[in-house]
Amino acid sequence: MKILRIKLGSGFEKIIKETAKVIENGGLVIFPSDTVYIAAVDPMNEAAVKKLLEFKNRPTGKAISIAVLDQKMATDFVELSDEAKEIYKSLLPGPFTIVSKGKHKVVSGIEAENRTLGVRIPDNKYINELIKILKKPITATSANISGNSPNYSIQSLLNSLSEYKKNIIDLVVDAGKLPHNLPSTVIDTTESELKILRRGDLISGNAKTLISKSEKETEKVAEFLVKRILKQVQDDNIRDAYNASLQKPIIFGLSGDLGCGKTVFSRQVGKILGIKDKITSPTFVIYNEYEIPLNPPLTKGGNWLEKFLHFDLYRIKDAFEFEEIDFLNLFEPNTVACVEWSENMGEENLKKLKNISHYFPINFAYIDENTREIKYEI
C-alpha cells in the first residue's frame, strides 16, 4: 500500500496521473471527495470490482455508486427521467447520488439487484481531474467496511482496518482531514415520485426540509425548488388549456430569520427566469419589478410568464400600509413573485393571496452560525 499526500497548488496533477495509472491497471485507491474518503476502482474492470467488494465486505446486489464528470457521461450508464434531468441541472455537481435505471455497462456488483445505478457528480477538483484523465467513471462508495462509519481522515480509516484489508489497497491519496460533511443524499428517480433513500447535508429530517451551509448551496436549493414548482404549474396549464394563456401568479412566500438566505433565494429565482438585470434588495421601495424575457427558461406552450416581482416587507407591518400600496392587486396573472418577510403581511392578506395565486411558503431558519434549515411546501 502506497500513500501519497496531496496539497492544493503543489503538484497535485502528478499525483492524479499516478492515481489514474493505478486505477487503469485494476487497482483500488482510497481518494478524497467532497463528502468523505471514497474507495475508487474502474467499475468496468471485473477484477477491480471484485477487489472492492472484498475490501468493503459488500454483498453482490447491494449497489455501489459511480462518479462521472457530467450529465453527458452519466447518460452512457443510466437512463435519465425528466425528474432526474432536472436534478442534474439544479443540484449537481454537489453532495447527491441520483439513482436511475442502469444500462448494464458496468461489471456485475455495481448495479443493484433491481438493475438501478447511483450516479454522482462530485463538487471536487481532484475527482474531476481524475475522471478527465481516465475518460470514464470511478466508483464513489465510501472508504469503509460495510456497516461502519465513513472516514474523514486516512488515519481513522487505517486504524479501523485489519492488515489483510490494508493489503487489498493499492494506493492511498491523503488530502488531510476532510470537513465533517455527511455522505451524499441519495435520491431515487426511477418512479413517478422522488424518494429520498439516504439523507445527507442538503436534505435532512424529511424530504421537505433542506439544509444549506453556504450561499452556493442556497442557490442550489432555490434552483431545485423553483424548477420543480414551475414544472408543476406548467403541467397544470397544459392539462387546462383554457387557463394557459392567463396564468395565476406564482408566489414564493419567504419567511424566517434575518440574513438567512431569503435574498440569495430571490436573486436565484430571477436568474432562473432569465433576467439579466441585477436583482437588488428592495428594502427602501417595498418591491422591484423586472420584465421576464420573451422566451424564459423552463416554459413551454407559450410565453405565459411576463414579470418578476421582488418584495421586502421587513418595514411593513400595519394593515393600512398594505392598503396604501394596493398590495393584493400588484399580483397580476403571468407573474412570478418572491415576497421576503411574508410573515408580516398578516393572516387576512395571506388568505386572500392564496385564493388568487399558486402560493408556496418557504421558511428559513438558522440551526447554527453556518447552517440554515429551509422548509418548504409544494
Q: What is the pLDDT along the chain (378 residues), one digit of tens a residue?
A: 899 998 765 678 899 999 999 999 999 999 999 889 999 999 999 999 999 999 998 766 678 999 999 999 999 999 998 888 878 877 788 888 999 999 999 998 899 888 999 999 988 889 999 999 999 999 999 998 887 888 899 999 999 999 999 999 999 999 999 887 767 788 888 887 667 656 555 554 444 677 787 888 888 888 878 877 877 776 665 444 444 445 789 999 999 988 889 999 999 999 888 888 888 888 778 899 999 886 554 444 445 688 999 999 988 878 888 988 899 999 998 899 999 999 999 899 999 999 999 999 999 999 888 888 888 877
* Tally of residues, the chain: 378
Name the pTM for this structure.
0.61
Q: CATH number for the 209-376 domain, one of 1.25.40.10, 1.10.10.10, 3.40.50.300, 3.40.50.2300?
A: 3.40.50.300
Domain with CATH 3.90.870.10 in the chain: 2-198
* Number of C-beta neighbours around residue 372 at 10 A: 23
Domain with CATH 3.40.50.300 in the chain: 209-376
Q: How far apart are CA 79 and CA 123, in angstroms?
A: 22
Q: How far apart are CA 63 and CA 66, in angstroms?
A: 10
Q: Which long-range contacts (CB under 8 A, 24 or more apart) does 3-12 make?
A: 3/154, 3/171, 3/172, 3/174, 4/171, 4/172, 4/173, 4/174, 5/174, 5/175, 5/176, 6/32, 6/126, 6/173, 6/174, 6/175, 7/175, 8/125, 12/126, 12/129
Contacts of 363 (CB under 8 A, 6+ apart): 254, 255, 256, 374, 375, 376
Question: 2-198 adopts what CATH topology?
Answer: DHBP synthase (3.90.870)
Q: How far apart are CA 45 and CA 62, in angstroms?
A: 18
Q: 304 by DSSP, 3-state: which? A: coil
